[in-house]
């Protein structure tokens, strides 16, 4: 039986949270590491494999521009693709309002899985940050981040917030859609669902009064220990099974059931971002990778 099937939260506990690669994995420069350690509030995005353009954030106040780190993670494929579009990194390592972090030695052959590192375990990358907002690369963030923290987290006394799913309510319905849209193989999804059924995850459309399925293109969170634990367990699921994080979120939510998880309505998400869509097909990595957040 897996660790958190019978999880009891303790003041101190050890949880696998990350990945393993013989090449080191997700290397950044010393200058970039120092910058990331300086961040207290972060808006983050990433584009690996050259699939998406970099969309400049809008709607922020001058106060947020001074206090918030806007960070975009690129690999060399995206770097080259963006330079062809005229988006060259300046001497200040910026492209517009985004501070670019160039990443090498990505640990996974699946670029979608590489993208889950800054998306789900940002507390490992920004060790001094208190809050972060994740924005998928297909979206343009269009609100003041400090205002978003107040409206989405603080007013609702929440620690983790993301949107309800707009089309479906059950992880089992989501699994069918994933297979139909060829976002994962039927075999991969079957293995994942068999495990979830074994762990008594019901085919229910509501949980704690909200939809039982989330849409994770925007994630607003604090970096408190319990939130970090939840995100680590979520990351472990996408490494162990498919990289479709919307499929594993309901499982971790039901298993841990932490206080302070807020699923806001779809209309609120649409107020936070403009959906721009994916522009190019992501170029996969050809190397093999060893995965290691399984227990």
Q: What is the DSSP string of the chain?
A: --GGGG----SS-----S---TT-SSB--HHHHHHHHH-SEEEEEEE-SS-SPPPPP-S--HHHHHH-EEEEEE-HHHHHHHHHTT----TTSEETTEEEEE-BS-S-SSHHHHHHHHHH-HHHH-TT-SEEEEE-TTEEE-S-HHHHIIIIIITTT-SEEEEEPSS---HHHHHHHHHHTTSS-HHHHHHHHHHHHHTT----SEETTEES-EEEEEEEEE--HHHHHHHHHHHHHHHHS-S-HHHHHHHHHHHH--TTEEEE-HHHHHHHEEE----SPPPPP-S--------
The predicted structure's pLDDT at residue 276: 79
Whether the Cβ atoms of residue 221 and residue 161 lie closer than 8 Å to each other: yes
Average pLDDT over residues 86-96: 95
The predicted structure's pLDDT at residue 219: 98
Q: Write the Ramachandran bin of 227: left for phi over 0, alpha for psi from -120 to 50, otherwise beta.
A: alpha
Whether the Cβ atoms of residue 47 and residue 72 lie closer than 8 Å to each other: yes
The predicted structure's pLDDT at residue 1: 42
The predicted structure's pLDDT at residue 202: 94
Which of 9-18, 153-162, 183-192, 220-229 bottoms out in mean pLDDT, i.e. has the lowest?
9-18
Average pLDDT over residues 40-55: 92
**Span 222-244, pLDDT tens digits:** 999 999 999 999 999 999 999 99
Rounded to whole angstroms, how far apart are CA atoms 153 and 149?
5
Average pLDDT over residues 181-194: 96
Torsion of CA 95, 109, 164, 266, to 10 degrees: 40
Residue 278 has pLDDT above 70, yes or no: no
The predicted structure's pLDDT at residue 6: 41
**Span 154-177, pLDDT tens digits:** 999 999 999 999 999 999 999 999
**Confidence grade of residue 294 (pLDDT, cut at 50, 70, 90):** very low
């Amino acid at each position: 039986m897996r660790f958190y099937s019978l999880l009891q939260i303790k003041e101190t506990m050890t949880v696998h949270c990350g990945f393993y690669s013989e090449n080191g994995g997700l290397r950044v420069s010393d200058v970039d590491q120092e910058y990331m350690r300086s961040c207290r509030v972060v808006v983050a995005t990433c584009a690996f494999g050259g699939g998406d353009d970099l969309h400049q954030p809008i709607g922020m106040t001058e106060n947020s521009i001074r206090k918030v780190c806007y960070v975009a993670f690129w690999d060399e494929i995206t770097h080259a693709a963006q330079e062809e579009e005229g988006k060259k990194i300046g001497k200040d390592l910026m492209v517009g309002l985004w501070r670019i972090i160039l990443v090498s030695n990505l640990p996974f052959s699946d670029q979608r899985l590489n993208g889950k590192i800054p998306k789900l375990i940002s507390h490992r990358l920004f060790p001094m940050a208190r809050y972060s907002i994740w924005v998928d690369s297909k979206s343009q963030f269009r609100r003041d981040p400090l205002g978003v923290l107040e409206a989405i987290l603080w007013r609702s006394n929440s620690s983790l917030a993301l949107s309800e799913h707009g089309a479906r309510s059950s992880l089992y319905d989501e699994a069918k859609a994933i297979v139909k849209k060829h976002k994962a193989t039927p075999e991969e999804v079957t293995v994942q669902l068999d495990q979830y059924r074994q762990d008594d995850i019901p085919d229910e459309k509501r949980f704690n009064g909200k939809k039982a399925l989330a849409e994770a293109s925007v994630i607003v969170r604090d970096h408190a220990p319990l939130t970090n634990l939840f995100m680590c367990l979520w990351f472990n699921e996408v490494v162990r099974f498919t990289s479709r994080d919307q499929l594993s979120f309901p499982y971790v939510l039901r298993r841990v059931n932490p206080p302070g998880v807020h699923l806001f309505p779809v209309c609120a998400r649409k107020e936070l971002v403009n959906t721009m869509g994916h522009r190019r097909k992501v170029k996969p990595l050809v190397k093999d990778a060893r995965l290691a957040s399984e227990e």
